[in-house]
Amino acid sequence: MIRIVVTGMGWVTPLGNDLDTVWKRMCNSDSAIAPIERFDASSFPTKFAGQVRGYDWTQYVKDATIHHSPAMNSQFALGAAKQAWEQAGLGDFAGLNTERAGIYMGAGEGVLDFSAHSMIDTHSWDVEDDMVDPVAWAKFARERLDEWGEVEQEPNMPLWHVAKEYGLRGPAFNCLTACAASTQAIGEATSVLLHGDADVMLTGGAHTMLHALGITGFNRLTALSTFDGDPKKASKPFSKDRGGFVMGEGSGMLVLETLEHALARDATPLAEIIGFGSSADAYRITDLHPEGRGPAAAITNALEQANIDPHGTADGKPLVHYISAHGTSTQENDSIETKAIKLVFGENASNVPVSSIKSMMGHLIAAAGSVELITCIMSIQTGMLVPTINLDNPDPELDLDYVPNVARYAHVDCCVSNSFGFGGQNNTLVVKRFEL
Amino acid sequence: MALPNEKVVISGVGVISCLGVGIEPLWEAMLQGKTGLMRIERFDPSGFSSQVAGVLAEDAFKVRKIVPKSHRKATKVMCRDTELAVGAAAEAVESAGLTTAGTSDDPPTIPPERVGCHIGAGLISAEVNELAAALVTSKKEDGTFDLAHWGGEGMQNLTPLWLLKYLPNMLACHVTIVHDCQGPSNAITCCEAASGLSIAESRRVIQRGDADACLSGGAEDRVNPLALYRQHCTGRLADTNGSGDISAIVQPFSQNATGTIIGEGGGVMIVESTSSCETRGGTPWCSIDGVGCRQSFCDSPLDADPNAIASAINRALEEAQCEPTDIDVIAPLGSGIKQVDNAEREGLTEVFGDALSSISTITTIPYTGNCMAGNGGIKIGVAAKALQEQMLPARLGAETTEGIDAGRCDAMPMKMNKVLILTVGEGGQCVAIVLGRIAS
């Protein structure tokens, strides 16, 4: 039987750019949400976000010149990947068969140059025809757009940069299932290993939509919080007065490998991936299925693969010790996710702690799931559950243990991590303490 | 975690391209050697150096007509890429003889939770007219753009669901809703390799027992100013205003090749376990015998790597338990992008040696244009058809090619049992797939 272990982890997040700093801040219920500085958002309905700060990608690569001006999502991925690669001890490992080392990213598109695009679109607008003059548009595009910046828009560019940095030549994929992407990437990377297509997979996600058009798009969907108080209080998953998600950005990357490969090179497994479940809502483009059908199926499938009975107990406790919720702070998600957890776990549901780190760092979109899986592994390692902050006004309809406001000690052997995407893709991972 | 290794087949083929809806019009054109490329009419392309594309005629395809009544309203928030994916999926489902929520109210052939959906997608470029119509309301008198006005009022001119049109997973989202596919679903975004990787993943999803069948492939539309400009930025397009012999603009593997041509289209296959196909009385088009996936290691993400290509092919052959001599036909990317063509030829030569020049190839891009994420789906659909018909379609492009049999030729009957499909994407992902004939 092939077993898949995590041997390295790294992240670049609004709360910091290394494992310890971010973990400590989350354990201290700290929030990274602050006014947007990336562009002037003062007139936008949403003026705050979780923004990565104090990060210099060039410190995380061997030679910055080989990377041709990476877009910000690629910059984040390179930093997170470096941490994961080094923690896994692969930086010093000369015996890696690079054709057996692959990469599966759940990365979003690059950052659109809104300033240039808005100029080009408006200057090429033909008032008489009430449409863009494509000839003028092409002329302005050639003058104003950075050609390489447009190439960097492709969502598979973070993959290219990371693979280039580490010489990965094995199976390579990028998926973009919105907010579920990096959980799906990790799950499918697990499948690549289980089928014997690789020995090592570098996997995770990277994304930023923290630009004027990204905020515009989610504002028009009315999905973003427009809270007008202290930004740190804006992301409030499971609260009665939750008003939408808060934009974040960043990357989470993990090294997965077969246990056989890890042991052969004396690597230290940090945790074991034991289950992955994936489903589609197949319901509506804007809404989740009201009964939580898709999320429940993803959780159920993951637990089945992990051979864990959601209704079972050991020493009077459920077999799952923590759920990292998708927990976006939208009315619909938090309600449906709670419903799905209850549907799957039955009477055990109220005894499984559930929290959302989006309350502290915002929603990293495609990168969210990978950062949340790392959170689960940190919980297993440290015996600490990070909280859902801003939970001062609980929704009476949502009655699970959301680890409100304050971190707590707990013995954690087994965690579930949920990610549900706009568009209906649902993905769940199950990770447990590694035991030989 | 135990993984079964069941044989997986393609039991339905759905293709949409500039040559029409379904595999048949494309196949007929390929038998006759008739390209679908033409000068772009959707907008005035004269501001671009590459003015030719593979564009499906406006009246040839109306997505509203092929979705259930309950989903018609949702077609308003489909971008062109999604329309193409929904069109190809409908063709695939019909071709496989499946009943789904998208075909009738009868009970589905396969339980919805056992049907997955993997639709490769590209970087979907916003329609410039739609976005510009909203942006122009925030233009100041001095001609500059007023971001403050945009944030306060201007953005209200953008339709509320605007963003949902352009998320790459919306292709799969709409297809899953139309056909009620509740199994695993993904949106792989790896340029020209996206369809091949999607089919590779569907196969693994089925083999690990998470689905019995998947709608799998990809679609993309590059025929709008922003998408065309983005391709222009790669330096991969052939400069042409459409004059002269349009069937010779894309010249795969020719030393005179000047680049590729964009297109819109895609292909969705029904990838199914052999047992599911047999149980429901389906007729497989071909089997998926082996897959190999590799990443290029080059100085530029725009370049392809012969070593990665050769390694992907060797892995696919190993999985298919066959030798290079077992391959009867090769369907390479054959884009007319000189560096990529040369890398393909070099990688193929590494595997096949001198015998490469005697193995016939199928090239589709001279007919359809480079449909990026849809490219592999089209190619796999054509290869499945070739296996079924035992016929090599005609090739367009250059009269002769060096080291590989990819020059112009007429269609001809040909015995073929194994076809190798190769897709090499911008960004460096390489996928090799071996399809096998299933004797009737």
In this predicted complex, what is the ipTM? 0.97
Going by C-alpha positions, the residue among B394, B387, B436 that lies closest to residue B415 is B387
Which residue do the tokens 């243990």 mark?
A: A401
Inter-chain touch B123–A184, beta carbons under 8 Å: no
d(CA B94, CA A52): 48
d(CA A204, CA A108): 11
Q: Which residues in chain B are closer than 8 Å to A170, comparing Cβ atoms?
A: 293-295
Q: How far is A113 from chain B (nearest CA, A)?
A: 13
Residue of B nearest to A169 (CA): B295
Inter-chain touch A132–B182, beta carbons under 8 Å: no
Q: Sign of the C-alpha dihedral, residues B243, B247, B251, B255?
A: negative
Inter-chain touch A424–B161, beta carbons under 8 Å: no
- Checking if the pLDDT of A46 tops 70, the result is yes
Q: Is A403 left (phi over 0), alpha (psi -120 to 50) or beta?
A: left
Q: Which residues in chain B are closer than 8 Å to A247, comparing Cβ atoms?
A: none
Per DSSP, B70 falls in state: G
Going by C-alpha positions, the residue among B1, B128, B322, B302 that lies closest to residue A2 is B1
**Closest in B1, B129, B177 to A194, CB measured:** B1
Inter-chain touch B184–A279, beta carbons under 8 Å: yes
- Checking if the pLDDT of A292 tops 60, the result is yes
Contacts of B393 (CB under 8 A, 6+ apart): B27, B30, B31, B362, B382, B386, B411
Going by C-alpha positions, the residue among B118, B120, B149 that lies closest to residue B135 is B149
**Closest in B170, B188, B205 to A173, CB measured:** B188
- Which tens digit of pLDDT belongs to each residue from A78-137? 999 999 999 999 998 889 999 999 999 999 999 999 999 999 999 999 999 999 999 999
d(CA A60, CA A23): 20
Inter-chain touch B204–A192, beta carbons under 8 Å: yes
Q: Which residues in chain A are closer than 8 Å to B197, comparing Cβ atoms?
A: 173
Q: How many CB atoms lie within 10 A of CB B439?
A: 5
Q: Which residues of A are catalytic?
A: 179, 326, 363
Inter-chain touch A122–B145, beta carbons under 8 Å: yes
Inter-chain touch B233–A283, beta carbons under 8 Å: no
Inter-chain touch A285–B143, beta carbons under 8 Å: no
Number of Cβ pairs closer than 8 Å across A and B?
Answer: 294
**Closest in B135, B169, B299 to A118, CB measured:** B135
Burial B282-321 (b: 16+ CB within 10 A, else e): bebbbbbbbbbbbbbbbebbbbbbbbbbbbbbbbbbebbe
d(CA A160, CA A103): 9
Distances (CA, A) of B163 to A32, A107, B153, B418: 26, 17, 17, 43
Inter-chain touch A156–B190, beta carbons under 8 Å: yes
Contact of B261 with B52, CB cutoff 8 Å: yes
Residue of A nearest to B175 (CA): A282
Q: Which residues in chain A are closer than 8 Å to B167, comparing Cβ atoms?
A: 176, 178, 422-423
A96 touching B, CB under 8 A? no
Contact of A3 with A432, CB cutoff 8 Å: no
Task: Convert B77-102 into a string of H (helix), E (strand) and C (coil).
Answer: HCCHHHHHHHHHHHHHHHHHCCCCCC
d(CA B131, CA B155): 10
Beta strand pairing call for B418-424 and B329-331: parallel
Inter-chain touch B148–A40, beta carbons under 8 Å: yes
Inter-chain touch B1–A423, beta carbons under 8 Å: no
pLDDT value at residue B165: 95
Burial B84-97 (b: 16+ CB within 10 A, else e): bbbbbbbbbbbbbe
Interface subset of B 297-316, CB within 8 angstroms of A: 297, 299-302, 307-308, 311, 315
**Closest in B129, B188, B296 to A131, CB measured:** B129
Three-state DSSP class for residue B364: coil
Q: Alpha helix (H) ranges present in B234-324?
A: 274-279, 306-320
Q: Sign of the C-alpha dihedral, residues A343, A348, A349, A354?
A: negative
Inter-chain touch B161–A121, beta carbons under 8 Å: no
A77 touching B, CB under 8 A? no
Give bridge partners of residue B119 from the DSSP assignment.
B217
Contacts of B365 (CB under 8 A, 6+ apart): B250, B252, B260, B261, B263, B333, B334, B335, B336, B375
- Checking if the pLDDT of A210 tops 50, the result is yes
Interface subset of A 44-63, CB within 8 angstroms of B: 44-45
Contacts of A410 (CB under 8 A, 6+ apart): A321, A322, A353, A379, A383, A384, A385
**Closest in B3, B170, B225 to A423, CB measured:** B170
Contact of A425 with B185, CB cutoff 8 Å: yes
Contacts of B145 (CB under 8 A, 6+ apart): A115, A118, A119, A122, B135, B138, B139
Residue of B nearest to A275 (CA): B1
d(CA A121, CA A129): 14
d(CA A334, CA A341): 11
pLDDT value at residue A126: 95
In B19-81, DSSP assigns E strands to 20-21, 37-39, 52-54
Residue of A nearest to B159 (CA): A220
d(CA A418, CA A71): 28
Q: How far is B310 from chain A (nearest CA, A)?
A: 11
Per-residue pLDDT of chain B (440 residues; tens, 9 = 90+): 444 568 999 999 999 999 999 999 999 999 999 999 999 999 999 999 999 999 999 999 999 999 999 999 999 999 999 999 999 999 999 999 999 999 999 999 999 999 999 999 999 999 999 999 999 999 999 999 999 999 999 999 999 999 999 999 999 999 999 999 999 999 999 999 999 999 999 999 999 999 999 999 999 999 999 999 999 999 999 999 999 999 999 999 999 999 999 999 999 999 999 999 999 999 999 999 999 999 999 999 999 999 999 999 999 999 999 999 999 999 999 999 999 999 999 999 999 999 999 999 999 999 999 999 999 999 999 999 999 999 999 999 999 999 999 999 999 999 999 999 999 999 999 999 999 999 76
Cα–Cα–Cα angle for B269, B273, B279, rounded to 5 degrees: 110
What the block records as the tokens of B74 is 């949702």
What is A203-237 written as a DSSP string?
EEEEEE--SHHHHHHHHHTT-B----S-GGGS--T
pLDDT value at residue B16: 98
Residue of A nearest to B207 (CA): A195
Residue of B141, B169, B202, B426 best to disrupt the A interface, most CBs of A under 10 A:
B169
Give bridge partners of residue A384 from the DSSP assignment.
A409
Inter-chain touch B301–A285, beta carbons under 8 Å: no
Interface subset of A 115-154, CB within 8 angstroms of B: 115, 117-119, 121-125, 130-139, 141-142, 145, 147-148, 150-151, 153-154
d(CA A8, CA A349): 31
Residue of A nearest to B319 (CA): A197
Q: Which helix (H) or strand (E) holds B115?
A: strand B115-120
What pTM does this model have? 0.98
The identity of residue A131, as a single letter, is M
Inter-chain touch A171–B293, beta carbons under 8 Å: yes
Residue of A173, A183, A226 best to disrupt the B interface, most CBs of B under 10 A:
A173
Inter-chain touch B151–A44, beta carbons under 8 Å: yes
Going by C-alpha positions, the residue among B298, B403, B284 that lies closest to residue B353 is B403
Residue of B nearest to A221 (CA): B160
Which residue do the tokens 């689905």 mark?
A: B211
**Closest in B150, B187, B210 to A278, CB measured:** B210
Inter-chain touch A174–B190, beta carbons under 8 Å: yes
Interface subset of A 154-173, CB within 8 angstroms of B: 154-157, 159-160, 163-164, 167-173
Q: How far is A190 from chain B (nearest CA, A)?
A: 11
Could you give all domains of chain B from N- to C-terminal order, each with its CATH number?
8-125+166-437 (3.40.47.10), 128-157 (no CATH)
Going by C-alpha positions, the residue among B379, B332, B381 that lies closest to residue B352 is B332
d(CA A370, CA A205): 6
For residue B248, count CB atoms less than 10 angstroms from its CB and return exposed for 0-12, middle for 13-18, buried for 19 or more: middle
Could you give all domains of chain A from N- to C-terminal order, each with its CATH number?
4-112+153-432 (3.40.47.10), 114-148 (no CATH)
Residue of A68, A132, A419 best to disrupt the B interface, most CBs of B under 10 A:
A132
Residue of A nearest to B174 (CA): A285
Going by C-alpha positions, the residue among A90, A78, A106, A158 that lies closest to residue A276 is A106
Distances (CA, A) of A75 to A56, A159, A249: 8, 11, 12
CA A169 to chain centre: 24
d(CA A117, CA A251): 26
d(CA B177, CA B413): 40
Inter-chain touch A170–B294, beta carbons under 8 Å: yes
Going by C-alpha positions, the residue among A328, A349, A97, A143 that lies closest to residue A224 is A328
- HSE, side-chain direction, 13 A CA sphere, residue A9: 23
A65 touching B, CB under 8 A? no
Q: Which residues in chain B are closer than 8 Å to A205, comparing Cβ atoms?
A: none
Q: How many CB atoms lie within 10 A of CB A75?
A: 25
